[in-house]
Chain A
Amino acid sequence: MKITSIQDNLARGLRVVRRAVPSRATLPITQNILIETEDARLKLAATDLELSITTWVSAQIEQTGAITLPARPLLDTISSFNMGRVEIEVTDEPYGAKITTTTERSGNPLTIDTDLRGAPKDDFPPFPEVSPKHRVRVDSGILRNALERVVFSAATDDARPVLTGVKMEVAGDKATFAAADGFRLSIETAQLMEAPEEPFDALIPARALRELGSLMAGTVATVEIMVSESGGEAMFRIGDEVEMITQLIAGTYPDYKSLVPQNADTTMSIPLESAEQVARSMQVIAREGSAIVRMVAQNTDGQGRLTVSSNAEDLGNSEGSLDVDIEGEDGKIAFNVRFLSDLVSNAQGGTSNPVETDDGAAGPEKLILAITTPSSPAVFRLSSHPGFTHVVMPMYVQW
């Protein structure tokens, strides 16, 4: 194999696939990146056996072929300079690649040859062939926002493996994503470009969706979501440049819909911006104590007032109050401050601009909190995203 490419393009491609290079070397070859000529482009691919990322960069191909090279030295070699050309040529003895970097910056041509040992493509675990049974398309911005509001609620420890996944359910022209860790639950719906032939669902590792979010950042593209015939893998294709394949989690996801409380005694609506400020301020004290934030809502003839407080025995306390739109009775509840700040910092999704509300009027986003008793789960919604529901278990406190 012999190819020439622009340094910037190649480095960008390598940084994309590097996200799939594992830090743990259960299978040493996976520390390598696969480089292969494919049609008139260069294919770059990496896998940690759970997540595989493939991307294509433009290159001048003198001789077709393939090789795998160790990820970090390869990326470092190519990132160690900029504004130049990179030539990669496979060498036989010892098996590897000769990487020639050429730059003419400041009118002073500089060429560096680096020989890297590699391993043949056949040693690389074959990438799963996803023969798609189900396929839908969605706008990358919509998907990214939806995932941002959901993925943070997934469990990070393996005590209950299914909870480390995000449940995706596609029905009609909507995809519903849900994640829960036993204390909180996020549900969000994303509008698809068209309805699939039949409804389907998949349990996708949250980690893969976090990587997908990063891969979609800054791009405006159509994302194709495919689930394989066997139900073992899902593929996400971003535009025609990046493909991510993830193994799916086996297991039965809890019936999360039944966990959403249907009735509320008190419903209040808080500007999201104020909620963010409140969460940030309360965190200062609460995180030093028992992480408890108390909320007391009073409804005086339709005039709502929400008082929020936290205290840490050895440090001090803080309290704030604000006017809110309220419906129903007085109410009170206490939350873990981390859950509150996770919610408000992810609720915006990728965008922070005011969005069109359902009735067409632009207005600041509002967080709608519905509670019943201090020991019942509370429901948060967003004024401009009717598909979003977030359920949080309260903390038990002495009132």
Chain B
Amino acid sequence: MLGTSQEVGASGKWDTIGNPAAINLVSGAISQGRVSHAYLFVGPNRVGKRTLALDFARALNCNAADVAAPGWAELAPEVPCGQCSACDRISRSNFADVQVITSATQTSKDADTEAAKRRVMIGIDLIKDLQSDALLQPYEGKVKVFIIDDANRMSPDAANALLKTLEEPPENVHIFLTSPAVELLPETIVSRCHLVRLRSVPREVIAEALASRFDLDSDEAQVLAKMSMGAPGWAIAAIDDPSLLDARRQSSARILDVFGFDLADRFDYSAQMARQFRSDRGLALDELARWLEIVRDIAMIQNGLSQHVVFDDRMEELDRLSQALTVDDVALAASVIEKTRDALMVNAYPQLAFDGMMLELPGLG
């Protein structure tokens, strides 16, 4: 059995699924009374970075134990209790002293929330708002916590403005940042934060958490856990929105087909992808991620590890591909897909990037 939240040293109700080492680091900081004022949570998308940051915020503000009082160390493992009004409202983003800041957060200069929704960067106005909010004493909680979600989206101005606050935040203020990778943030920011790394969560851990917390039957939990690729956040979202699972299945079916296409059909597919990329780059990049997962499944079968295949509802086609393609073909496919993704990230012309991928990708022909 791999570590679940029940097995970590902390006995509080942590919403974070898996990642016992990260939870221990955070709860250890509380029980040792060494909570730093700035933390950076790093890990893959939807792995639970913001959830852990919120757990941390709940633990610091939990009414079950007075973390500021002497002798709190013995009580600390009980936080967050998950029961008190503070824990409850922090989880529902309805607590005065815990604020999650994203690129879509309304600034004091925006007339309404609509203006903010279209933004993709965290601008300096948001950081300035944070700084003036941080100067006030906590309203109802013990400490103020600002969670800057996807802090890698901060503009250079915003990041520079934040430096001063990270260095010397006002008393009782904690700033938590999340980012998919350390390299996406300026070194000056990283060096001022305690680093907490989160890793992809093992399938069994996700399945068990889904079954116990969301009352899913174990088959359903298994499917979602497997398809989440180690990202509990995706699995939880997919419980409420079955279309996420369907989309993932459809895109895997489509990709398996493309391997067998002739060049003309492949170019149709690349034109479609280029259109998709222009209208919603997130969806197109998701599809590329799916490509890598399919290639991974093929490699698993080639190496005799069929039990780790994710898209096992397509076992037959995957089997066929793993026999038709050589090991080198599969390695080439993976590098072609990654090259395409990297090119797109630096604003390559989408049609050309996808066409190139289709040309280089090994096939059944």
Residues of A near any B CB (own CB < 8 A): 23-29, 49-50, 122-123, 125-126, 128, 158, 161, 230, 232-233, 247-251
Contact = CB atoms under 8 A, between A and B. Distances in A.
Interface stretch (B3-11, B54-62, B93-101, B230-238): B93-101
B135 A250 contact: yes
B137 A247 contact: yes
B94 A27 contact: yes
Given A26-B129, A27-B99, A125-B139, 5 more contacts: A24-B110, A123-B94, A125-B96, A158-B132, A249-B136
Given A123-B94, A128-B139, A247-B139, A161 B106 contact: no
B259 to A, nearest CB: 48
Nearest to A52: B139
A26 B133 contact: yes
B107 A125 contact: no
Given A158-B131, A247-B139, A25 B171 contact: no
A250 B137 contact: yes
B135 A249 contact: yes
The secondary structure that dominates the B interface is loop
Given A125-B139, A248-B137, A27 B96 contact: yes
28 contacts: A23-B108, A24-B106, A24-B107, A24-B108, A24-B110, A24-B129, A26-B99, A27-B99, A28-B94, A49-B96, A50-B139, A123-B89, A125-B95, A125-B96, A125-B139, A125-B140, A126-B85, A126-B140, A158-B135, A161-B132, A230-B137, A233-B137, A247-B136, A247-B137, A247-B139, A249-B136, A250-B170, A250-B171
Contact of A122 (B85, B136, B171): B85
Give the top 9 A-B pairs by smallest Cβ distance, nearest first: A232-B137, A125-B96, A247-B136, A158-B132, A161-B135, A49-B139, A49-B96, A24-B108, A125-B140
Nearest to B85: A122
Interface of B: 85, 89, 92, 94-96, 99, 105-108, 110, 113, 128-129, 131-133, 135-137, 139-140, 170-171
A203 B356 CA distance: 64
Contacts of A233: 137
Contacts of B171: 250
Contacts of A23: 108
B96 to A, nearest CB: 4
B176 to A, nearest CB: 16
B144 to A, nearest CB: 10
Contacts of B110: 24
A196 B110 CA distance: 44
Contact of B135 (A27, A123, A251): A251
A392 B133 CA distance: 30
B93 to A, nearest CB: 8
A112 B140 CA distance: 39
Contacts of A126: 85, 140
A249 B136 CA distance: 6
A29 B139 CA distance: 15
Contacts of A28: 94
A206 to B, nearest CB: 13
B106 A25 contact: yes
Contacts of B133: 26
Nearest to B105: A26
A29 B94 contact: yes
B94 A50 contact: no
B344 to A, nearest CB: 34
Contacts of B131: 158
A123 B91 CA distance: 12
A6 to B, nearest CB: 33
Contacts of B95: 27, 125
A248 B137 CA distance: 7
A50 B92 CA distance: 21
A141 to B, nearest CB: 30
Contacts of A250: 135-137, 170-171
A274 to B, nearest CB: 40
B325 to A, nearest CB: 52
A30 to B, nearest CB: 8
A230 B12 CA distance: 29
A226 to B, nearest CB: 16
B136 A50 contact: yes
A158 B96 contact: no
Contacts of B139: 49-50, 125, 128, 247
Which of A26, A29, A249 has the most CB atoms of chain B within a 10 A radius of its CB? A26
A249 B132 CA distance: 10
A306 to B, nearest CB: 41
Contacts of A249: 135-136
A49 B131 CA distance: 15
Nearest to B172: A250
B136 A128 contact: no
A203 to B, nearest CB: 10
A50 B108 CA distance: 14
Contacts of B136: 49-50, 247, 249-250
A154 B137 CA distance: 20
Nearest to A27: B96
Contacts of B113: 25
A24 B106 CA distance: 7
A251 to B, nearest CB: 7
Contacts of A122: 85
A133 to B, nearest CB: 15
A47 B62 CA distance: 22
A24 B125 CA distance: 13
A141 B194 CA distance: 53
A128 B107 contact: no
A26 B170 CA distance: 20
Nearest to A23: B108
A27 B96 CA distance: 7
A215 to B, nearest CB: 20
B37 to A, nearest CB: 15
Contacts of A230: 137
A247 B110 CA distance: 24
A210 B18 CA distance: 51
B125 to A, nearest CB: 11
A31 to B, nearest CB: 10
A123 B94 CA distance: 7
